[in-house]
Amino acid sequence: MKRERMLQVAVGLLGLVYIALIYPLYTDLWHSKWLLEMKNECDPMFLSWFIALGPFLLVAARKPSLHRSLIAFAACQCLAHAAVMTIQTVEAWKHGVHRDFTDVVIFSLIGGILLALLLERRKESALVTQ
């Protein structure tokens, strides 16, 4: 039961953080900042992906056991993002551009925590049925 509550809190917080990304998206889109200043068309698309996932995570936080596949998807998505950002950071360093691994660590932790909470639940239910 305690693990289920921890999963509820983690998924709920992640959903809120993802929804909160609507403000950076708004500022990127305002007056075409993403095009004229940042010269990065991927940033608004990237943010919209997380914003769209946020409300679904909030729904999943109410009863995580009913939404395990969505939570697993969110965890795997975080780990995939961390993997891509690791490659981009290493490549940036090879070309003399300094980037830190902060986003890699954050998304790795989020994905790892979600998966760990999901997998432990599965182990517990397997032990009960035996």
Q: Which pair of tokens denotes residue 77?
A: 């998505």
pLDDT digits (tens, 9 = 90+) for 51-99: 999 999 999 999 999 999 999 999 999 999 999 999 999 999 999 998 8
* pLDDT, average across residues 104-110: 96
- Judged against a pLDDT cut of 90, whether residue 27 lies above it is answered with no
Could you tell me if residue 100 is left (phi over 0), alpha (psi between -120 and 50 degrees) or otherwise beta?
Answer: beta
- Judged against a pLDDT cut of 70, whether residue 50 lies above it is answered with yes
Q: How confident is the model at residue 38 (pLDDT cuts 50, 70, 90)?
A: confident
For residues 83 and 89, is the Cβ–Cβ distance under 8 A?
A: no
CA distance 67 to 47: 23
For residues 54 and 15, is the Cβ–Cβ distance under 8 A?
A: yes
Which range of residues forms the domain containing residue 35?
Answer: 2-129
pLDDT digits (tens, 9 = 90+) for 112-130: 999 999 986 555 556 656 6
Q: Which pair of tokens denotes residue 26?
A: 């708004």
What are the contacts of 40-47 at 24+ separation with CB within 8 A?
Answer: 47/21, 47/22
CA distance 107 to 112: 8
Residue 4: phi and psi, rounded to 5, are -60, -40
For residues 117 and 91, is the Cβ–Cβ distance under 8 A?
A: no
The number of distinct structural domains making up the chain is 1
- What pTM did the predictor assign? 0.83
